[in-house]
Amino acid sequence: MKYKSVFDIIGPVMIGPSSSHTAGAARIGRVARSLFGREPKWVNISLYGSFAKTYRGHGTDVALIGGLLDFDTDDPRIIKAIDLAEAKGIKLRFIEEDAVTDHPNTARVIIGDDKGELELVGISIGGGKIEITELNGFELKLSGHHPAILVVHNDRFGAIANVANVLASHQVNIGHMEVSRKEKGKMALMTIEVDHNIGQDILDEIEKLPNILKVTKIVD
Identify whether residues 19 and 67 lie together within a single domain: yes
Query: What would the mean pLDDT of 198-212 be, rounded to a whole number?
Result: 95
Q: What is the CATH number of the domain that holds 43?
A: 3.30.1330.90
Dump pLDDT digits (tens) for 7-40: 443 344 445 445 556 889 999 999 999 999 999 9
Identify whether residues 100 and 152 lie together within a single domain: no
Which structural domain range is residue 180 located in? 148-218
Residue 151 confidence (pLDDT) above 50:
yes
Q: Which of 112, 130, 113, 119 is nearest to 51 (CA)?
A: 130
pTM for this prediction: 0.82
Higher model confidence: residue 190 or residue 6? 190
Q: What is the DSSP string of 9-43?
A: HH--S-SSS-IIIIIHHHHHHHHHHHHHTS--SEE
pLDDT interval class at 104 (50, 70, 90): confident
Residue 102 confidence (pLDDT) above 90:
no
Query: What would the mean pLDDT of 159-188 be, rounded to a whole number?
Result: 94
Query: What would the mean pLDDT of 86-90 be, rounded to a whole number?
Result: 97
Identify whether residues 204 and 175 lie together within a single domain: yes
Identify whether residues 67 and 97 lie together within a single domain: yes
Identify whether residues 198 and 129 lie together within a single domain: no
Q: What is the CATH number of the domain that holds 197?
A: 3.30.70.260
pLDDT interval class at 98 (50, 70, 90): confident
User: How many CA atoms lie less than 13 Å away from 217 in the CB half-sphere?
Assistant: 17
Identify whether residues 84 and 171 lie together within a single domain: no
What lies within 8 Å, CB to CB, of 100 at 6+ separation is 48, 49
Evaluate whether residue 122 is within a structural domain.
yes
Any idea what DSSP says for residue 185?
A: T
Query: What would the mean pLDDT of 42-55 be, rounded to a whole number?
Result: 91
pLDDT interval class at 54 (50, 70, 90): confident
Evaluate whether residue 1 is within a structural domain.
no
Of the three residues 109, 136, 163, the one that is the final residue of a domain is 136
